[in-house]
Amino acid sequence: MSSQQVGTDVSRAVLVLRAGGVVGLPTETVYGLGADATNPEAVERVFRIKGRPANHPLIVHVADVDHARQWSKNWTAEAELLAEAFWPGPLTLILERAPHVIDQVTGGRDTVAIRCPSHPLMHRVLVELAGGIAAPSANRFGKVSPTTAQHVVEDLGLDVDYVLDGGPCDIGVESTIVDCTCEPPQVLRPGGISEAQIAEVLGHVAHASGPSRAPGMLVSHYAPNCRVHTVESRQQAEDEIAALTGPTADQPTHDDSVRADVQPMSVMILDASVDPDGFASTMYAQLRDCDRKGVRDVIVVLPPDIGIGSAIRDRILKASFRQ
């Protein structure tokens, strides 16, 4: 991709979307691969570029609640409360779909996922477009999500018509998904807004139970090339290293040094337990760094299962899954 295809030109992004093109777009969670949500060919191209199965539905991104109502059939009282509390922000709501929403977006389901992101450039695109943008994360299917414009270029390059560079994502993990079509609403995917925050607004909320109700949330996902191991404490990480490296192998490298250009290393520790919010914002970039540096095994010290920690655990456990 030429450098001309990466930039900060909001109007250009809107023009490309209107013309049926596909644009890498910054959000506060991860970068999205966006298309006009009313254009079937453009949406189909997103699936082709990602290599994503057609029955994994996309999130429709909107500028505000008024637009959200246009994409859903019955905007519920609970959706209203959640949107009031957390939009614009890292929360996706599942609602019954409005009749005009195309099957390419919903995977043929009778529900639609809607989110109003807070990133200022993305917000300007949505306001100028005055429509909906269907966008999954801008990575190849099953791989690590992108949190910079550079990641999008590395992953998708020439397949994308333009990448809007909004800098590194603040939050770094995908939005929380809440299904508002059931009573009480259910959290289908943990993310930037915690279950406790949602329960505080609604008074009640349920964990999704049974087989995943958000198609595409597979056991293995967000996977780097390196092997990811998970532990619950620093001590367990040290034990794991001993098991992996043995007495003669390379010494492990610790968090900060991953950025230094040093010898290829075989084992790394990433400690997510000390500052989970800070870790989340660079989590995918760190996994990408590990791959770039040829790290073979990454040991992640998981954070407690609260707040953003729940989202980190979810993503890292999926990244660690091996057949």
What is the binding site for ligand TXA (CB under 6 A)? Answer: 27, 29-30, 32, 56-59, 90, 92, 94, 106, 109, 111-113, 115, 117, 135-137, 174-175, 177, 188, 213-217
Of the candidate residues 137, 176, 186, 230, the single one contacting Mg ion (CB under 5 A): 137
Question: Which of 40, 113, 37, 43 is closest to 72 using CA atoms?
Answer: 113
Residue closer to ligand TXA (CB basis): 152 or 295: 152
Asked if 147 interacts with Mg ion (CB under 5 A), we say no
Residue 82 identity: L
Distance CA 322, CA 132 (A): 36
Please, what's the largest Cα pairwise distance for the chain?
64
- CB 213 to ligand TXA: min, Å: 6
- CB 115 to ligand TXA: min, Å: 6
User: Token pair for residue 96?
Assistant: 């019954």
The stretch among 3-11, 62-70, 118-126, 135-143 that binds Mg ion (CB under 5 A) is 135-143
Q: Give the three-state DSSP class for 220.
A: coil
Distance CA 219, CA 116 (A): 27
Burial level of 264, CB count in 10 A (0-12/13-18/19+)? exposed
Residue closer to ligand TXA (CB basis): 137 or 282: 137
Q: Give the three-state DSSP class for 59.
A: strand
- CB 274 to ligand TXA: min, Å: 24
Q: Residue 189 in contact with residue 314, Cβ under 8 Å? A: yes
- CB 157 to Mg ion: min, Å: 18
- CB 104 to ligand TXA: min, Å: 12
User: Token pair for residue 55?
Assistant: 């029955």
- Look at residue 104 and give the partner it binds from Mg ion, ligand TXA, none, a contact being a CB closer than 5 to 8 Å depending on partner kind: none
Residue closer to Mg ion (CB basis): 39 or 137: 137
Residues that bind Mg ion (CB under 5 A): 137
